[in-house]
Every structure is written in C-alpha cells, then in structure tokens.
Structure 1
Amino acid sequence: MSFNRVYGKQLCAELNTTGFKKKFAFSLLTLCITHAFAISAANAADSATTSDKTRSEQTLVVTADGNNEAKTEATKSYTVPATRAGTKMNLTQRDIPQSVSVLTQQRIKDQNLQNVGDALANVTGISASQNDSERVDFYSRGFYLDNYTYDDIPSAQTGAWNFGETDGDSAIYERIDIVRGATGLMTGTGNPGAAVNMIRKKADSKTFTGNLSASYGSWDNQRYVADLSGPLNDSGTVRGRVVTGYQNQDSWVDRYHKRKKFLYATVAADITDNTTLDLGYDYQTRDTDGPTWGGLPTWYSNGSRIQYDRSANPSADWTHYNILSRKVFANLTTNFDNGWQVRVNGTHAESDFDSKLLYVTGYPDQTTGILDSSGYGYAGWYKGLRTQTAIDAYASGPFELLGRQHQLVAGVDYSRQRNRYLYSSTILSPAEIGNWNDWNGDVAEPDWPAWALSSEDTIRQKASYMAARFSLTDPLSMIIGARYTQYSAQGTTADMKKNNLTPYGGLVYDINENVSAVTSYTSIFKPQTYRDQQGNYLKPVTGKDYEAGIKGDWDDSRITASLSVFRIEQDNLGQILSNTYVNNSSENAYKAAKGVVSRGVDFEINGAVTDNLKVTFGATRYVAKDASGDRTNPYMPQTSLKLFTSYTLPMLPELTVGGGVNWQNRTYKEATNPSGQTERVYQGSYPLANLFARYQINKNLAVQGNIKNLFDREYNTNPSGGVAFNEPRNYSVSLNYAF
C-alpha cells in the first residue's frame, strides 16, 4: 500500500492499539514509515509531471504473520529508496548526477563488517592502504579520502594522526552513504575523491524490540553486541535505543592484543505530530597492546629481500595505542504537510589518543641481523586531543514555478575544530635493537625526554549553501547550487583566512521510466599552509570533477545501477622552490602549480535481482597523473572489482548462503635500496574471496558463519612503505537473537 505522512501515522497508531501491541510482549514491528515520510516529500517535488510522478512514487508493503510480526523489505535490502547524499534533497540515486554507493545494515551484517574500515574496503571505487595495525588510509579515484561526516556534519581527518575514524564500530550505524568525486557543496573543504556519510541508528520503534549477538572467530576474537529499542512512555511519543558492545581479540601478528568497548544511546521525542527531537551519546574506546608503526624493513644490507613470517611484529613489548572518543549530538526535525522539512543538527565531539610506538628502519646484516650505520629504532610517545563543535541547519522541500514543481534546499553551518598534539621521542641505536633476525620485541623502554608541542591549531568554517532541482521538461531536470565558505586556521602551523565559492551543477534526462542520462560538474577546495617568497599563503588547492553517465533503477529502487566516466583536476598544488625562502627566513617558499588529473570509469549494480538473490558488483578503472606525467600514488590500484552475493534457498528458506571476491591490479612503490638507488617494489594483483551462510533456527534465533580470505592469499598491506602482511584465512561464527 502507498503511504503518505498522515496515513502512515494513523496506521502506526492502529497497530499499537488493536492487538498488535501487548505490554511487555516481544514483537517485531519494522518502522520504515519514517522512510515513507521522506519519500512523500520527494513525490511532492516531482508531482507536476506524469513520468516523474510514476518514477518517484515509492511503495511500502507491510505484512503481518500469525505471530504478530511485521516485516518490511527495507530492513533486509542492499539499497534504499531515497537518500540525501550529495545535495541534502531527498532523491532516488538515479536523480543524483554523481556516483553514489549505499552500504546498508543488512550488507554489513552479511559480510560481517565490524568497523567502518572493513565497510569502506568493500565499497566500489574505494581502496585501502594499511599503513600499520592502527592506521588505514582510503583513496578514491587517486585521491586521499579525508571527508567523513556523521549525520551530514563533516569531521576532517589528517593522515598523520589517528583518532580512529576508520575503526569506529559499524553496529551503531543504520547505513553508510558514499558519494564519489568532489563534494564541496555539502562538506566544504577536502579532497575531490569521495565523501563518506555515516548515518546513525534512530530510536524509531514504538514497541520493545531488540537484537543480541555473540560471535567467536580466529585468534580468539570474541565480540558481543546488544541493540535494544522501545517506547519510554505509554503512547510511544518518547522512545529510546541503546547499542552497546565489547570485543576482545588477539591477532595473526605476534604480541598484538586489542580490546574495544562502545556505548551508543539515543532518545527521540515527538514534540508535536510533525516535530521530533533526537538526543544521543556515542562513547567508544580502543586499547591496543603491541601495535605496529609503519612496515618492516624490506632489504638486507647485501641487497637481498628479507623473508618474514606472516606473524612478524616490529613493535616493542612496551608499545600501546589507546583511543577514546565521545560525542553528544542533537537534531530537531519538523516535517510540514506541504512536503517541506526543516532540520537543525548539532554535535560536540572529543577524541584523544595516547600511543607509545617503535619504528625500525635500515638494512640489517643477513648473518648477524645488526642494522647498518643508516639504521636505528625511532621511539615515539604521542598524545593528541581533538575537539569539534558543529551545527548545521537547513530547510528543503518542493516549490512551484512557471506551472511546474521543483525542489529546493538552503542551509547554513558552522564548525570549530581544535587540535593539540604533544610528542616525546628518542633514538634507539642498532646495538640496542640487536639481532633483527631474532627480534621479539624485548627491548628496554627508553627514558623519555620532556614533552614537546608538535602543533596546536583551531580551524573554523562558516558556510551557507543552496541548491535547487528544477523540472525543466517532463524528462529533463537540472540541479544547480553553490556553497560560500569562510575558512580560518590559527595556531602554530598557520594563521590564515580564506573564502571560497563552490559551485555545483548537474543535468538528469529520463530516457525511459527506468534509465536516465546524467552529467555534472562539482568542485571542492582545501586551504594549504604553504607560503610564497613574499610570505603570502598560497591559494587553496581546488578539485574540479566532471562526470557523465547513465543510471537506472527498477522495481521501486530495489535494484539500482550506474555507469559513469569522470575527469578530476586538482590545481594550485603547492610545490617547493629550490633555494628560495620566505622573506629571507629559513622557511622554504612554495609556488602554486597544476596538480593531478584523474580520468576513469566506474560501474555498479546493487540490490535484489530476484526475490531470493541480492547482488552488489562494482568495477573501477582510473588513471591519475601529476603535472610531470608521473603516476600519482602508484601504490594504490587503478583497477578494482568487487562482488558480493546473498541467496536464500527457495526450497529451504531458513538458509541463506553467499559470498564474493575483491580483486585489484598490480601496484608498486618507489623505494631506496641498500645501494642508494631507487627501485620499484611491486605488489602483484590478487583476489580476496569470502563466504557466508546463515541458518534461521526459529523466528528469533539465527546462526551465521563467515570465512574471509578463503584462498589464504598473502600480500603487502603497506604498499606505500615497508612490509606488512594481510590477515590469513580466518573464520567467525555468530549467534543472533532478535525479538
């Protein structure tokens, strides 16, 4: 049945008063009516034309069985009917003129993706560089991915310091939306590769529901998660949800041990029939013993390659890496009967880390294992604190102009991020390191020098943005918009202010009721702290993204597909000037130059091919070169394929099986060998296969098994420097109880 906002609320009330709701009884009522509310706003924007209306209407089917269970397909889907990714207008993926991927909770569950990093590594067009055991960098289309947002509020990440963005637990998120290409309209500053938006779970159930899971896997990996939600008053106008978990694990790496705890709590209150206030708290802590820092040395001093056991760990016994993050957030959402929505979203986050690390570099003797004269151990003790306060407010909805219905979004946001980093470091001599061939981490902890300030900065952004989707003709729509940003950085590394106007434009042409042709131009900027010879800060690095392709959706967006070609240009990249200094000081001077050009194509199909078969398949190919014609980030794959399937057996519907494979092409890095020459170190192409099976024992209890790296392929996870190994073949078994 089709739901509008009013009728959906009436039905929800009826379900809770006519026998479906029994006090203190367990039941499963899937409350996807909130999705239908959002979809009805998109319907209103498209209702002027028959073809738009037919394409944008969404249907929600609710069925109940004899056990008073109500299920919707949305809870088990690999797709969503609509998203605000890219523009904050509630659109189908087909109506967004950029490449968009959605990773739903069901896909995360099927693949057993326990943290954000695992999830991103399985997204089309995203590639991972595992710098060490705690830091994972992600790249898209040749560019470092530094745009992470939480419920649409950006949080900038820097590669040098790790606050655990990619290690956040996936259990607290409803889904993850990824927009590839430049995303300056919504995120402000950053690189033009992609942006990731983590959408948190909501307290949206008016009946008591829950999910308890326990799993055990290779290397004594124990994980326990509880997800409980329900009403906090008789009418259900105040609701709560708690997601909490604990994980304790060893590793295939010697002397490595990790403990993780998280608590996520949120309360939703219906202030009026149309206005809801959400309040939440997110607490996560990760304590790691024996973390690695960078990779292992590649060569012996005689030039031969060092052959390591896969479990080799270059860290010392006294090393650790501890991260604590706390976030409080609130959002106030009002939905009007005319399809408009007004939302105010705010957050305050504090993250800190404390790490003692050891990095060993040089060329050991093959016989004695003693490092040569260029070798040493670098011991570092680092502490960091990052706080961010941000608020975003916007209104979106349909409007009429020249007899046609269109859509508009307009908003403002403000953020302040403070970063403070301290360090204490010292050098361990080759004699103190000892025989590298017998290294076991047993080295004395150094006497740490006094703390020194690495950097302390405050970054502020003030912005206003507006975008409109105009229905020009029945098959043709146009999205145009812009963001004006005032950026300032003050502290030990910079004292600068920059203003920037970021444009956005796109066209969508409906070829038929299922397929559209799209094209877009988007951009993004990133201030830089380099200065020219006169002492002026260089202009921000700008990223321009040109994209064109075709998109399709079928069966009310149960399956979506896209094929796009793109070109990204990055300009004003700071380049050092030899023997030139700022105002005759010791500070090196820079000049702005043309940067990187990335060209390529990507393809993705995602969703329910049949009632029993779900498939996600993505393929990406790009070529990125700098102004000199050299390949950019050659340690990242330029071609990648990612496939995952899930199949429920028709003759045995309690059993679901599936699996997939990720493949990437050969990569290389430039490294200096013992002879002082630059040598290319290659990592050959490889596939990573995985399998899963889930059996529904009864309506509440299910058991699931996962196998990762089925063929036990071995490769270097740190292609940008040193040697580090991926996880071997491993398994996990989990029990899940839903009520």
Structure 2
Amino acid sequence: MRYLHTKVALNQVYAAGWLNETALNRGYSGSGEKMSAIALDNQLDGSVDTGEINHRLLVGIDYQDRSNHTTGYYGAFPPIDAFNPVYGAQPDYITLYSREKHKLRQTGYYLQDQMSWDRWRFTLGGRYDRVSVSNIDKLHDSRSDLDKNNVSTRAALLYLFDNGVAPYLSYSTAFTPTSFADENGNVLEPMKGKQWEAGVKYEPLGWNSQFSAAVYRINQTNIATKEEPTDPYRSIGEIESKGVELEAISHLSDSVRLQAAYTYTDIRYKKSSPQEQGKRAVYAPRNQASAWLSYDVKSGLLEGLTLGSGIRYVNGVTSDRLNTHTLPSYTLVDMVVGYDLSSIGLNGLSAQLNVNNLTDKRYVAACNSLSYCYFGAERSIVGSVSWAF
C-alpha cells in the first residue's frame, strides 16, 4: 500500500514582448495543486508444468483513489526596464480563472502467463480496468462524470540461441484515464494506445555484458494537451511514435560498470487539426544519448562506497506544434555517491547522494508554443537513506 500527499504552488512573472527599445511588458501566471492518493497492489505468483511447458503465472488486483484540488491565476505586472531593472512592483491585476476538483478511482484485475518450452519463451497477459472519474468546476458550479471499462492485452515471443543472441517480438495495448476536462467542463476520454516492438538482445559468452537493439511503433489516441497555461485541455485524435533504441551494459571488472544508450524518436500528430497534421509533437526530443560509469569499492577502509558519473545529451525538441523552430541541443552532467552501511555492521541500511545537472547549466528544455518556453531544471542535490529488510 502507498499513500501520497503533495502540495505544490507556482508563481511566476515573465516577459511578454518589448514595449519599446528598453522596456519589457510583463505577465503573471500562478497555479496551485493539492493531491492525495492511495494505491494498493496485491498479487500472487507461482509456477506449474503442463507437459514440457513451464508456466510462470501471475495474478493480481490493484486499486487507486486520487483526489486533486487545483487553482489557476493569470495577470499582468508593470513594464520593466530590461537594462536598468527596478524590482518590487505590485501587479496591475491578478485574476482567478480556474478552481477545480478532480477525482479518479480505478480498479484493475490482471493475469499473466510466462511460458518456457525448450529455447522458446512466450508471454500472454490481460488486464481489465474499471474507472470512475469526476471533474467539479467550483468557479462555474458545474460537474462532469465519466465511467469506463477496458480490456488491455500483451503478447511477446522470444527465442534463445546458443551464442547468446535472443530476438523477440511483442505487442501490447494500453489504457490510461485522465481527470482533465475540456472547455465545456466534460471529462476527457481515457488515452488508449497500442505498441509493436521488435528487437534483439545479446549476452556474449564469457563476457559480463548485455547489448540490445529495438525498433518500435506506438499509436496513442485521446491525448490530453493544451498550448497556453490558461487554455482548457483538449484531446488530440492520434499521435504516432516510431523509433530506435540501443543500449549496452558492461561490467569491465568486479568494480567498474559502464552503461550507454541511444534513442531516436519521431513523434507526429497523425489525426489532429489541419495545421498540426503530420507535424512533430512538442516536448519530444528526436535524439537522446547517455553514458554512465560507476565504481564500487570492494575492500579496504572505503568498502561499500559507490562513485558514479554520467552525461545526458538531448537534441531535436521542436518549439511549437507547427515546428517553427528547433530548440538548441544541450548536454548535462550528473553524479552519484552511495554508501552501503552493511560494511560497518548496519545491515540493510544504505545512503545515497544524487546530483543532477552538476555544472548548473542553463538551457531551454521545452516549449508549449513560441510564447511559452521553459528553462530546464537547475542543479539539484538529493540525499536519501533506505533500509531493506
């Protein structure tokens, strides 16, 4: 069982075009959200043989109950001299444009059978979902409800060759409900998707390494989206994603591990407005590459210490739904330091420090439109302590 409670507030003043050669117009946007959620997942697994076929069976039930309270504001601030700024001005006005409560309840029943026969591996799975969603618009005193049932499926086939090569093929469908509402206050239809994937995995004999390559195609319908922060949500008819994924993991020694990955993705609006038809989707990089190197201290005074560092490269994010521009590429550096406290007698206890964007690089990560672009996350340092028992 998991319980989550979060409270988030965002208030920002942003540039809204030049008033003259020195002064910038300024706008304001703000939002707040409180969310409470509970999730349960109970499952049972076991193994049984039918003749020469071994079945690894999994059956389960999961449940989630989620409640969101959201508010949205927009406004304007007085212009500011960009070359001689004076801060501390009061807003010209701030207007509440959205105040809503979203509730979602979902119960899922699932079954999976992983079959092994000789060198063949088969997977068959199914899931049945019952979903109830409500959206309460407190600003306009209206309510919209949606109840849906859905069956999702999954099938996969893999063959293990003697030399460590394992080609595979898989197909799956997806169902994801949303509590967002359109301009009329009606809850949007759940997102549905289907995915084909074909690839090969390779574990060279005598090497402690794994390599994989895959091609895929994903079709999704009823994608919830909006361009400007104050716009209502709407559904995009269909988005198609096609891509290639490459990954290599190698243990160069007992202590050194190297991981590298590359992804090429082409995501386009397949069924949408005439202006968007065939265009690339926002937020989606065309190329992503990463590399990570880690070192584990196995003996001595620092036994249990782990050091790691890596880079992430992102390229080909479009500026808007009309693909007017492409955002500049960027490369980020990350680092991790971990310590397994079992080495000093504290069995099951470990501590870790993660640093993302180590150099605190400033970059534009994504845009809703030409008017609304967002800087990427600044340097973040997160410490954690975990206990396994």
**Structure 2 length-normalised TM:** 0.73
Question: CA contact under 8 A between 2:74 and 2:97: conserved in structure 1?
Answer: no
Give 3-state SS (helix, strand or coil) of 1:669's partner.
coil
The correspondence for 2:199, drawn from 544, 549, 560, is 549
Cα distance change, pair 496–368 in 1 and its aligned pair in 2 (3 A): same
Q: 1:386 aligns with which of 32, 35, 38?
A: 35
Say whether the 8 Å CA contact 2:126–2:154 is kept in structure 1.
Answer: yes
1:470 matched to 2:115? The reply is yes
Give the deviation of 1:496 after TM superposition.
Answer: 0.8
Bigger relative CO (Cα 8 Å, ≥ 6 apart): 1
Q: Is the 8 A contact 1:387 1:417 kept in 2?
A: yes
C-alpha contact (below 8 Å) 2:133/2:187 kept by paired residues = no
Whole-angstrom distance in 2 between the partners of 1:491 and 1:710: 41
Q: Which amino acid letter does the alignment assign opposite residue 475 of structure 1?
A: R
State the number of aligned residues. 350
Contact 2:317 2:366 in 1 (8 A): no
Task: Please name the residue that 2:4 is paired with.
Answer: 349
> Partners in 2 of 1:572 and 1:694 — Cα distance?
42
Separation (CA, whole Å) in 2 of partners of 1:383 and 1:711? 30
2:12 to 358, 362, 367: 358
Distance change (3 Å), C-alpha of 1:458 and 1:692: closer
Q: What's 1:500 paired with?
A: 150
Cα deviations by residue, 1:171-215 (Å, 9 ceiling, x for unpaired): xxxxxxxxxxxxxxxxxxxxxxxxxxxxxxxxxxxxxxxxxxxxx
**C-alpha offsets along residues 566-614 of structure 1, whole Å, 9 cap, x if unaligned?**
11111355899xxxxxxxxxxx998984x11111110112252322421
C-alpha distance in 2 between matches for 1:706 and 1:416: 31
What are the superposed Cα offsets for residues 255-299 of structure 1, whole Å, 9 maximum, x if unpaired?
Answer: xxxxxxxxxxxxxxxxxxxxxxxxxxxxxxxxxxxxxxxxxxxxx
Alignment of 1:677-696 (within 5 A): 680-689=324-333
The answer as to whether partners of 1:539 and 1:592 remain within 8 angstroms in 2 is: no
Report the secondary structure of 1:619's partner residue: strand
The equivalent of 1:632 in structure 2 is 281
Shift of 1:421: 2.1
Contact 2:32–2:70 (Cα < 8 Å) also in 1: yes
Check conservation: 1:433, 1:443, Cα contact below 8 A.
no
The aligned counterpart of 1:438 is 84
Matched, 1:481 2:125: yes
Note if contact 2:279-2:323 (Cα within 8 Å) is conserved in structure 1: no
In structure 1, the partner of 2:173 is 523
More helix by share: 1
**How far apart, in 1, do the equivalents of 2:281 and 2:29 lie?**
31
CA distance in 2, matches of 1:695, 1:419: 37
* Cα distance, 1:392 vs structure 2: 1.9
- CA drift of 1:443 comes to 2.1
Write the mapping of 1:704-715 to structure 2, written as runs, cut at 5 A: 715=363
Gaps of 5+ in 1: 1-345, 577-587, 672-677
Work out the CA distance in 2 between the residues paired with 1:706 and 1:460. Answer: 34
Shift of 1:669: 0.5
Q: Mean Cα displacement is larger for which, 659-668 or 493-502?
A: 659-668
Kept in 1: contact 2:215–2:243 (CA 8 A): yes
Matches within 5 A, 1:387-426: 387-423=36-72, 425=73
Query: Any idea what the Cα deviations from partners look like across 1:535-555, whole Å, max 9, x if unmatched?
Result: 997753311111111124479
The residue aligned with 1:456 is: 101
Q: Is the 8 A contact 1:377 1:433 kept in 2?
A: no
Identity of aligned residues (%): 22
Post-superposition shift, 1:356?
5.7
**1:569 equivalenced with 2:212 (yes/no):** no
Structure 1 Cα separation of the partners of residues 246 and 54 of structure 2: 31
2:318 partner amino acid = Y
Indicate the SS of the match to 1:442: coil
Distance 1:679 1:601 in 2: 22
Which residue is 1:599 aligned to? 242
* 1:620 aligned to which of 260, 263, 268: 263
| Residue 712 of structure 1, CA deviation | 8.0
Verify the 8 A CA contact 2:16 2:24 in the aligned structure 1: no
Please state if 1:722 is matched with 2:373: yes
Where 1:680 maps in the other structure, the secondary structure is: coil
Are 2:80 and 2:86, in contact at CA under 8 Å, matched by a contact in 1? no
Give how far 1:411 is off. Answer: 1.0
Between the aligned partners of 1:575 and 1:708, the Cα distance in structure 2 is 28
